Amino acid sequence: MRRWLKARLAASTEALRRNRWLKPLAPALAHPNLWHLNRRAVAGGVAVGLFFGLLVPVAQILGAAVAAVWLRVNLPVAALSTLVTNPLTFAPIYYLAYRIGVGVVGSEAPAAARVVEEGVQALSGAGWLEYALGVGKPLVVGLAILAVGSAATGYLVVSLAWRALTLARLMRKRRGRREPVL
């Protein structure tokens, strides 16, 4: 499987280098950590992808790709990790972020029954900015906390799992080399 992945990634990196739109970025895209599957690059890619997937609502993959090139972590993993926010998970993640933000900031937006009424009044008058800031401030603070926390957790989980799997593989290999006792 690992050989197959290496062969597929090598082919795609050559195609990227030959692409006329990406020609100016070819030296940056040639760094080995962007494409290799090692513990640091994959864990970093997961962290970058989770961070941008949760913090930035638009152009997540582009932001994660730029950060992955700059930090020299696995680019495909960073791009795939941004998909943590999708149409199925968007609402629960943003609600959780809002609740975290309310807990930190201490101010809550109007109750759900008054949101539409106050929203219409705010949008029709000059108070729309205050209304948006009332809802937006806890949401932005919660998203920042959630993005940093999940990026750190993702990095640690992937790194520890990688080490555990490597250790298990080495132990299996060691057991296979031992001579059976008669």
Query: Residue 31's pLDDT is what?
Result: 63
78, exposed or middle or buried, with CB in 10 Å at 0-12, 13-18, 19+? Answer: buried
Q: What is the pLDDT of residues 90-117, one digit of tens each?
A: 888 888 888 888 888 877 655 544 554 5
- The confidence score (pLDDT) of residue 131 equals 55
pLDDT value, residue 169? 87
Helix H or strand E segment including 12: helix 2-18
| Cβ proximity of 34 and 77 under 8 Å | no
pTM of this structure: 0.72
Stretches in the chain below the pLDDT threshold 50: 112-113, 116
* Contacts of residue 53, Cβ cutoff 8 Å, sequence gap at least 6: 60, 64, 81, 82, 83, 84, 85
Distance separating alpha carbons of residues 60 and 82, to the nearest angstrom: 6
List, for residues 136-153, the tens digit of each pLDDT value: 778 888 889 999 999 999
Collapsing DSSP states into helix, strand and coil, what is residue 37? coil
Q: Which of 137, 87, 140 has the alpha carbon at shortest distance from 109?
A: 137
Every domain of the chain and the residues it spans: 30-177
